[in-house]
Amino acid sequence: MNNKMIIGAFGLSDEQISSVESNLPIKSCEIMDTDCFTDIVAISEMAIIVIWEKLSDDDRDLLIEFYSEIAPFSETMILIGDVNIPEGLKNYVSIYDSFESFSVNMKYVLLGAYRRSKKNENYSSTLANTIIILSQIRNKPFVTTKELAEKLELSERTIQRYIETLRVAGEWIEYDTSRKGWRLCDGKSILWGDV
């Protein structure tokens, strides 16, 4: 897994980029300064900093259309300048009238973006692991906790917590004491649509 946390930047001067670099929340943060706005949309970042006036009309339309469609989005978006976006999108965007006004809170905004990004990353990892565990139990009845732990490189206790999460979500997973493994009741999963 790539541990780099990316901050996408568009339209910032070299001096402004340096200012952002001096306020990075952790060492593994990296600024991706681009001249092509579609790079901002195409790459997953923890934060996006855009000078509004530097965007072409087409890029502004793309930004509004794309982020309106996926709102709420995981990255922290910071727009700087005389920003004109729909009211509904303003709920998910931090808007500053100048880079100087952003600079006052930059350290805290970037730290908040980092924390939010880590929280989303942890949630995604948990969700992915839970789906893998359910898939394994569904496709290989009587799989053991140890086998699951080895496959996912997690502790057996963590596997048990994920299985309990699946049970709470409505999956009928039970431990067969004679075969010493996990199985779905009747071999059917609610989340996979078998029921």
Read off the CATH number of the domain in which 20 is found. 3.40.50.2300
Give the CA count within 13 Å in the CB-facing half-sphere of 173.
30
- Which ranges of the chain have pLDDT less than 50? 1
Percent helix, percent strand, percent coil in the chain, to nearest 5: 50, 20, 30
**Amino acid present at 154:** L
Query: Do 105 and 147 have their domain in common?
Result: no
* Residue after which a domain boundary falls, among 121, 149, 165: 121
Q: For position 39, what pLDDT does the model report?
A: 87
Q: pTM for the full model?
A: 0.70
Query: Do 102 and 19 have their domain in common?
Result: yes
Query: Do 180 and 84 have their domain in common?
Result: no
In a domain? residue 179 = yes
In a domain? residue 75 = yes
Q: Report the number of distinct structural domains present in the chain.
A: 2
Structure-derived torsion over alpha carbons of residues 16, 22, 25, 29, reported in degrees to the nearest 10? 70
Query: Do 98 and 19 have their domain in common?
Result: yes
* Residue after which a domain boundary falls, among 70, 91, 121: 121
Q: For position 3, what pLDDT does the model report?
A: 64
User: Residue 177 sits in which domain range?
Assistant: 140-187
* Residue after which a domain boundary falls, among 121, 154, 178: 121
Query: Do 100 and 154 have their domain in common?
Result: no
What DSSP element (H or E) covers 6? strand 5-10
